[in-house]
Amino acid sequence: MKKILITFIALVYFLPLFSQEENHTISGKVLNDANDVPIENVHVVNLNQVIGTVTSETGDFTISVKVNDTLYFSYLGFKSIRVRVTNDWFTYGDIKIKMTELGIALEEIVLRPVQLTGYLQVDAKIIPIYDDYRYSISGLNTGYEGGQSQPSALNKVLSSVFNPADFLYNVFGKRPKQMRKLRQMKSDDNIRNLLHSKFDRETLMAVLQLEKLDIDEILNNCNYSETFIRTANDLQILDAISECYEEYRVLNRGRN
């Protein structure tokens, strides 16, 4: 009798622990907090497992999770939110997630067209020229941008040739977990589609646990121009960081 009682107590105690380690497919609905209207195409990312999905026309979504995973919800014009997965989600079924709309005040934009005179020698001096060149170094996986927006590009190229592993180690060596997530992000089509339409770096910051300044610093150390850093979409930024990380791995392997 005692053995049966002990076994029962052990099952009651340990079963919840085992269930937390298991993957579950959960469902939910995303609504506009102002009017409870479903929001379509909200991107939902599991920050722990680095997988993503989008909401349907009715605001519904399903995603694989474990207990204590964090889901990240983002949609243009709405405040991004994080929701932690608890056992209540499994107990009560579908959960309603409400997102708050942002008030965005657009600044006035003045378009200044180039006034051409019709004289080639004069117009050649008027038309702006963008010198965002990209240098390629044999043996490395990526190139190096130069031009007016990156006046020290040549020095950075030379420093990368003569001492390439040091500056990359300082960038990536202390972030092994984030870099593993970086590779996971590249393999998930839903996340790639999300990043292709975004320019705010928010999802990258959430998954990689980095600040925007950290991302800018990584790209700057990898010799990407200020123009690229400022104008690229989040998918291009992801690929740029990934290329630089793969370069670091090659150089660091040779260094070790």
The full set of domains in the chain, from first to last, is 2-99 (2.60.40.1120), 120-255 (no CATH)
Q: Which residues, at least 6 apart from 67, have a Cβ–Cβ distance to it below 8 Å?
A: 19, 20, 85, 86, 87
What pTM was estimated for this model as a whole? 0.66
Q: Which residues, at least 6 apart from 241, have a Cβ–Cβ distance to it below 8 Å?
A: 182, 215, 218, 219, 222
CA atoms within 13 A of residue 234's CA, in its CB half-sphere: 22
**Residue-level pLDDT, tens digit, the chain, 256 residues:** 555 544 445 444 444 544 556 888 999 999 999 999 999 999 999 999 999 999 999 999 999 999 999 999 999 899 999 999 998 888 877 889 999 998 754 445 555 565 666 656 555 555 555 555 444 443 444 454 544 444 444 444 444 444 445 666 666 777 778 788 888 888 888 889 889 888 999 999 999 888 888 888 888 878 888 899 999 999 999 999 888 888 777 766 665 5
φ/ψ of residue 125, rounded to 5: -85, -20
